[in-house]
Structure 1
Amino acid sequence: MNWFLVALKKYATFSGRAQRAEYWYFVLFYLIIFVVLSIIDGLTGSFSADAGLGLLGGLLTLALFIPSLAVTVRRLHDTGRSGWWLLIAFVPLVGAIVLLVFTVQDSAAGDNAYGPNPKGSAA
């Protein structure tokens, strides 16, 4: 939960680097909260089948849109890639797979153009 809060504290910080733990714990807690809110949406009747999203799930998605972009860009920076690589997600299927591979990779060793290694020492 601490990593999720760290990512939220850097709400719109697109510079710097985010190690794997920060990114993946953010994704994990985002999904857990989204599933819980989707269940509540289903139980309360605020789920819209046309939109495929409920009221609470939609509010969460809207509230965490910028932090999720920021932590993903920082994760790409940690692997030595520009944040513009995030746009590859618009390529159907292949883009999501490439982005998954990029976010799973270990940090680039030492300092890079985006800042010092968040792990503290060279990987």
Structure 2
Amino acid sequence: MGFGQAIKTCFDKYATFSGRARRAEFWFFYLFAQVVSVLGFALILVIALTVLPTSEGGDDPTAAEQALFFGAIGVVVIASLALVIPLYTAWARRLHDMGQSGHWLWLNLVSLGLVPLIMAIFDSEQGTNRWGHDPKAVERGPLGAYAPPGQVPGGYLPRQ
């Protein structure tokens, strides 16, 4: 799954906590959300430094400049809030893919969000679990290990 496909998938499943999500889907969307946040706050910083007074002798910003500044803050806050729901749903689906409950995300409320974030690094649970079928089943093959086309898992070439 590529970057664009992961973003599209997460927005298609905007509020869907059920199911499973592969690592690529979660991490690409997580990267997208972080880039949007950083760019948004950089925009606010640039507007603040150019519009708001920077010294005692500076002129007070006009009403239009203040509206621009607060409007930019509003847009960034709305964009960040719009990304929170699909981020948490993808995160819950990622935990489901590992065989864990999405309730681990409650740790974010007590500043322990690093725990489920580290958990999202681990590989998927093989086979079907209570949240759905294995999205990597096709790649794993019948023996449950990865193998390039034309080879069996373990790196051995099939007999001819």
Report the TM-score range of the alignment, normalised by the length of the smaller protein.
Answer: 0.7 to 0.9
Count, aligned residues: 116
Corresponding residue for residue 9 of structure 1: 12
The answer for unaligned runs of 5 or more in structure 1 is: 48-52
| Equivalent runs, 1:34-49 vs 2, <5 Å | 34-45=37-48, 46=69
CA drift of 1:74 comes to 0.5
Give the structure, 1 or 2, with the largest relative contact order (CA under 8 Å, sep 6 or more).
1
Report the Cα distance in structure 2 between the residues aligned to 1:40 and 1:30, rounded to whole angstroms.
15
Equivalent in the alignment of 1:96: 113
Between stretches 77-86 and 53-62, larger displacement belongs to: 53-62
Distance of 2:36 and 2:115 partners within structure 1: 26
Work out whether 1:112 is the aligned partner of 2:129: yes
TM-score by length of 1: 0.83
- Asked if structure 2 preserves the Cα contact closer than 8 Å seen for 1:41 and 1:55, the reply is no
- Which structure has the larger Rg? 2
- Structure 2, gaps ≥5 residues long: 49-68, 139-143, 146-160
Per the alignment, residue 64 of structure 1 pairs with 83
| C-alpha displacement of 1:56 | 2.8
TM-score by length of 2: 0.65
CA distance in 1, matches of 2:90, 2:38: 20
* Conservation of the 8 A alpha-carbon contact between 1:41 and 1:56: no
Aligned-residue RMSD, C-alpha:
1.9
Percent of aligned pairs with the same residue?
38
Moved over 4 A (4+): none
